[in-house]
Amino acid sequence: MILRGGGGNVTPDGIIHTVGAGNGMTLTAEGRLSGDSGSGTYDRSDGCSGTWVGIKQIWIKQRR
């Protein structure tokens, strides 16, 4: 799990928990990954909150 100014982890059953800080704020996010996608919620220290979604991407380097 990569989060600017922080970090987090993913459990073997796909539960995500992250914490980050930057620009004078802190952020916590949690959710679940399953298969090729995931979703969850986040809360910022300024009172903003919402949902996030993610998808798995695979990058294939082409030979020249």
Q: Is residue 39 part of a domain?
A: yes
60 lies in some domain: no
| Count of domains forming the chain | 1
**Cα–Cα distance list, 25 to 6, 16, 30, 36 (Å):** 12, 20, 17, 30
Q: What whole-number distance in Å separates Cα of residue 29 and Cα of residue 25? A: 13
23: left (phi over 0), alpha (psi -120 to 50) or beta: left
Each residue of 10-40: pLDDT tens digit? 899 999 999 988 888 899 999 999 989 999 9
* 34 found inside a domain: yes
Structural domain includes residue 59: no
Q: Is residue 43 very low, low, confident or very high in pLDDT (cuts 50, 70, 90)?
A: very high
**28: in domain:** yes
Residue 12 located in a structural domain: yes
Structural domain for 42, as ranges: 6-52
Q: In the chain, pLDDT over 70 holds for what percent of residues? A: 94
- Specify if 31 maps to a domain: yes
CA distance 17 to 15: 7
- Of 7, 9, 10, 13, nearest to 27 by C-alpha is 7
